[in-house]
């Protein structure tokens, strides 16, 4: 990893909302519509964050019909470091389980 790659990585990780996105993705792959509920943000705002995470190669996308499912890139050279950093953070207030309990969990397939 060179300086410019490290800068891109740290900028991608160094945002509150992107940290939350990565923390959620530690548990399971999710689509944008689930992030809108979890983070109370608009779809375009979430998409901007996902573009930055994708540019840093921290996330991967999988097309399922008209849906895009996002997951952590487990092949990233700094994946173990990312997991360690995220494990230092508290769990988000809003959980995937609470979303399901509220009947707001969307299965995008």
The predicted structure's pLDDT at residue 66: 86
- pLDDT tens digit string along 23-70? 999 999 999 989 998 999 999 999 999 999 999 999 999 998 888 999
User: For the purposes of burial, counting CB atoms within 10 Å of the CB of 67, is it exposed (0-12), middle (13-18) or buried (19 or more)?
Assistant: middle
Q: Identify whether the C-beta of residue 19 lies closer than 8 Å to the C-beta of residue 86.
A: yes
38 near 104, Cβ under 8 Å? Answer: no
Domains annotated for the chain, with CATH where assigned, are: 3-101 (1.10.10.10)
pLDDT for res 109: 59
Model confidence over 91-109: pLDDT tens digits? 988 887 777 777 666 666 5
Determine if the pTM surpasses 0.85: yes
Other beta carbons within 10 angstroms of residue 34's beta carbon come to 22
d(CA 42, CA 90) in angstroms, rounded, equals 24
Among 43, 97, 104, which Cα is nearest to 70's? 43
Residue 102, pLDDT score: 74
Say what the pLDDT of residue 107 is.
66
């Amino acid at each position: 990893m060179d300086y410019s790659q490290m800068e891109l990585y740290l900028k991608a990780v160094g945002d509150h909302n992107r940290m939350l996105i990565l923390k959620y993705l530690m548990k399971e792959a999710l689509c944008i519509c689930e992030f809108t509920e979890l983070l109370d943000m608009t779809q375009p705002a979430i998409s901007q964050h996902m573009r930055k995470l994708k540019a840093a190669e921290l996330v991967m996308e999988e097309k399922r019909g008209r849906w895009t499912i996002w997951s952590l890139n487990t092949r990233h050279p700094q994946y173990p470091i990312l997991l360690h950093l995220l494990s230092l953070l508290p769990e988000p207030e809003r959980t995937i389980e609470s979303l399901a309990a509220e009947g707001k969990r969307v299965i995008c397939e």
